């Protein structure tokens, strides 16, 4: 399943679930649990966004199901296909979608940064700044690699 836009994710509900799943009660606690700076979570929250890469990596390293984070319920796997554990008709953001989006962003960044010859510190800064934007664009453009790469190149040119 692929969602047309990341806007179908209720960001505030995701933060509530992250607090619960990581057993924290503040943005600072969540940032430590996700391995991010305190300002990364605070700034993302102020933009009504998520620090996508940190959430994905933090959940994977702590064995937390991303379906639980984004939908509030884990998926039960049938031999034929995945079905949500509750049977309502709302669309679900599946773990495979999030992981595929992250993989696409990493590949696009690898591709456009290869020939730029940036020092390691600058490249890491660029990756950290572009990753959240590109993750949103992956869903907005329905996993269209050409569109995501175009956005990435434009953003890189602007920096």
pLDDT at residue 92 in the model: 60
pLDDT at residue 77 in the model: 43
Taking the model in full, what pTM does it have? 0.47
Q: How far apart are CA 93 and CA 17, in angstroms?
A: 15
| Domain segments of the chain as ranges | 6-75+85-158
Per the listing, tokens 């990364």 go with 40
Whole-Å CA distances, 48 to 24, 43, 44, 81: 19, 9, 6, 33
Q: Give pLDDT tens digits for 84-141.
A: 444 443 456 677 888 888 899 999 999 999 888 889 898 888 888 888 889 888 888 8
Whole-Å CA distances, 99 to 57, 66, 105, 142: 10, 9, 10, 14
Beta-carbon contacts of 69 under 8 Å, excluding residues fewer than 6 positions away, are: 14, 17, 18, 21, 55, 59
Residue 51 half-sphere exposure, CB side, CA atoms within 13 Å? 27
Burial of residue 131, with CB atoms counted within 10 A of its CB: 0-12 exposed, 13-18 middle, 19 or more buried: buried
Q: How far apart are CA 6 and CA 143, in angstroms?
A: 11
């Amino acid at each position: 399943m692929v969602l047309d836009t990341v806007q179908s994710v209720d960001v505030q509900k995701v933060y509530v679930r992250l607090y619960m799943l990581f057993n924290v009660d503040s943005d600072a606690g969540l940032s430590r649990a996700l391995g991010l700076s305190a300002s990364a979570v605070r700034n993302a929250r102020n933009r009504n966004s998520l620090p996508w890469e940190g959430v994905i990596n933090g959940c994977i390293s702590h064995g937390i199901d991303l379906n639980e984070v984004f939908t509030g319920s884990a998926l039960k796997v049938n031999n034929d296909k995945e079905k949500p554990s509750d049977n309502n008709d709302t669309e679900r953001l599946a773990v495979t979608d999030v992981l595929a989006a992250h993989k696409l962003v990493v590949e696009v960044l690898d591709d456009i940064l290869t020939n730029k010859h940036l020092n390691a510190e600058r490249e890491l800064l660029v990756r950290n700044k572009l990753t959240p934007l590109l993750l949103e664009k992956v869903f907005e453009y329905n996993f269209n690699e050409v569109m995501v790469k175009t956005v990435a190149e434009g953003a890189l040119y602007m920096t």
